Amino acid sequence: RFRRLQSTKPFYVTTPIFYVNAAPHIGHLYSMLMADARSRWEQMHPSRSAFMLTGTDEHGLKIQTAAKKQGLEPKALVDQVAQNFKELCSSANISYDRFMRTSDEDHVRLTQYFWRLMREKGYIYKGSHSGWYCVSDETFYPESSTEEIEKDGKTIRISTESKHEVTYGTETNYFFKLSQFQQQLIDYLEQNPEFIKPRHRYEFILNELTRSKLEDLSISRPASRLQWSIEVPDDPSQKIYVWFDALLNYLTAANFPHGFTTPNTTNYNFTTPTENIWPATHIIGKDIIRFHCIYWPIFLIAAGVELPREVIVHSHWLSSGSKMSKSLGNVVHPADILQYYGTDPVRFFFIENSNIREDCKFSDELLHASRVQLLNKYFNLAMRVTSPNFNIADAVRYHHHHHHHRSNELQEEHPEQLAELITSFQTKIDALYATMDDRFQQFDYSKAIQSWWEVVSLANQIFQMGEPWKYARALQQENSQDLDSVKREMYTRLSLRYVYVAAEALRVASILIQPVMPSLASQVLDLLKVRENKRTCEFARLGADESYGEGANDESPRPLLSKLKVRQVAAS
Ligand code: ME8
């Protein structure tokens, strides 16, 4: 589904497709949030649109084995687990445009089509392969990447990297001529230093490529060993290697080969629409960088397809300082934290603490602390400004009528410092969209949130110093009749002025935080009576016309965010 302006190409953003052999973890949630926040950010712009892809990686030996253990057909198992991931999307409010399942019919068709294309171009050949194979990683490792260890009194060989067991074997495979494209990829990378972000990942890949020669890649497995995978076209004795299939999901969702200039091969009856959203921005974790930054671009170069716009490589989330693992008992289940802390605070936490350069820390204490800040600074300000003591529409009207002699009036009653604060605040608020946009483009979410906090904090500070409730109360008191007209006028002015400033800050900040906290932000905008059609980024500036609806604040604004204690996790 395309939104709004169809004439511009949507910003196509992808997450990895997730293995269905384990329950969703916070790394999965994080990849999705990074993509979702960006996709929503793009859509907030009147002339931009976005297309977000996520999904599940369902083929391979691991699934086959897991299904067998549970006495299930592989398809029955993947149907179940794909559902868990979809449920995670819905509880985390991830607004994907397509949820890819590699068992989807159009994807199977595309994969076989792409295979034929590569074969016809002469990049696939049959050979035999011996080496150290790791079932759980589904890869062959060169001997130098394995080591022998003692386990339960036996000597076994494991992958140095994954620590999973490997076994020696020989088999017939189809190979892809990776080696033929090594130089082309190096050239491309040298000319496109922005292709892989952050920089040190780019350097790592370029260094790998220039240092060692690429070996051709085995892209099939004997059907005797692997049944649960896509069949190699015209050779039922072989199944397609799961990574070859998986990477192609990004093209399936882009309706390859329609609208692409390349293929001219065996005809397939594609019936999908011809929209071309390619190239993509891929968001991936650091452990799958070789697949996305070496194999994938080479497949595309071989097919004559434009390379992805960029590959954003994020680091990992650590739980209590270490990698999450079942044996350490520090696995955090996304569904649990979403349910306990609420969707938006969890989304906010991961975006606020996102750092693609280094590993990020997760703990309940940190998440809780972030939520407390939200509650105390953002939400609380919203509750105060929208309290029945004030009328925002009046404040806005008043501001427009008395716009010109703003700062002088303030000085009469308030310290100069405050007037200065308000001036610098106005500059900040008008700059916020541009600043955040810049940082969203770079996937530098924590910096974007930092600027957001500056505005929200300043608004708090100004509201606190201005004490508009004092004047509002004085005017509402019975003996307010005794106030002389000059004082009355000044009290009105002061109370409305600070309400105006804080409401404007909240309005702009809430508009701009919608991609991160879609429901909380829109609930705050509702409380502020901001019109539904004035919630896009072009209204994220001071004094955007006619943003507010009429009427006094509601008598009893309903709390949307309640206080919580840190979640107590039973030690497992
Ligand atoms: O790799 N913090 O799937 P996957 C952040 N199916 N990210 C993490 C993480 C952590 N602690 N642990 C893992 C696959 N990840 C393939 C992808 S794409 C064509 C095929 C990330 O379910 C990991 O880096 O094992 C990866 O990006 C993603 O979770 C999916 O991992």
Among all chains, which residue has been given the structure tokens 């608004």? Answer: 459
pLDDT at 549 over 60: yes
491-526 exposure pattern, b = at least 16 Cβ within 10 A, e = fewer: bbbbbbbbbbbbbbbbbbbbbbbbbbbbebbbbbbb
Binning pLDDT at 50, 70 and 90, where does residue 557 land? low
Ligand 1 site-directed mutation target among 284, 360, 362, most atoms within 8 Å of CB: 284
Instruction: Judge whether 253 and 110 are in contact, CB under 8 Å.
Output: no
Ligand 1 centroid distance, CA of 156 (Å): 27
Give the tens place of pLDDT for each residue, 290-327.
Answer: 999 999 999 999 999 999 999 999 999 998 777 777 67
Instruction: Judge whether 33 and 347 are in contact, CB under 8 Å.
Output: yes
For residue 147, what are its two tokens? 């080591």
DSSP 287: G
Residue ID of nearest Cα to ligand 1 atom 30: 18
Instruction: Judge whether 35 and 310 are in contact, CB under 8 Å.
Output: no
Residue 367 to residue 563: CA distance in whole angstroms: 13
The values of phi and psi at residue 174, to 5°, are -90, 145
Residue 111 to residue 104: CA distance in whole angstroms: 11
Residue ID of nearest Cα to ligand 1 atom 31: 18
Ligand 1 centroid distance, CA of 18 (Å): 6
CA-wise closest residue to 25 among 404, 397, 470, 326: 326
Give the tens place of pLDDT for each residue, 427-458.
Answer: 999 999 999 999 999 999 999 999 999 999 99
For residue 249, what are its two tokens? 């999901």
CB contact set of 201 (below 8 Å; sequence gap of 6+): 286, 289, 293, 313
Residue ID of nearest Cα to ligand 1 atom 7: 27
Residue ID of nearest Cα to ligand 1 atom 27: 285
pLDDT at 571 over 60: no
CA-wise closest residue to 29 among 77, 103, 84, 104: 84
Residue 304 to residue 309: CA distance in whole angstroms: 15
Instruction: Judge whether 278 and 305 are in contact, CB under 8 Å.
Output: yes
ipTM of the complex, rounded to two decimals: 0.98
Strand ranges, E, within 182-273:
196-197, 217-218, 220-222, 231-232, 235-240
Give the tens place of pLDDT for each residue, 237-264.
Answer: 999 999 999 999 999 999 888 777 655 5
Instruction: Give me the helices (H) in 192-260, please.
Output: 199-211, 242-247, 249-252
Ligand 1 centroid distance, CA of 415 (Å): 54
Instruction: Give me the helices (H) in 442-484, please.
Output: 445-466, 468-476
Please report how many Cα atoms fall inside a 13 Å half-sphere around the Cα of residue 90, on the Cβ side. Answer: 5
Q: Which atom of ligand 1 is nearest to the CA of 247?
A: 19
Residues lining ligand 1, judged by CB closer than 6 Å? 16-19, 27-28, 30-31, 57, 246-247, 284-285, 287-288, 316-317, 324
**Angle at 403 (CA atoms; ends 400, 408), nearest 5 degrees:** 150
DSSP 311: E
Give the tens place of pLDDT for each residue, 91-105.
Answer: 999 999 999 999 999
Instruction: Judge whether 531 and 547 are in contact, CB under 8 Å.
Output: yes
Helical packing angle, 199-211 and 182-191, nearest 10° = 150
Ligand 1 site-directed mutation target among 14, 18, 20, most atoms within 8 Å of CB: 18
CA-wise closest residue to 142 among 172, 176, 175, 168: 168
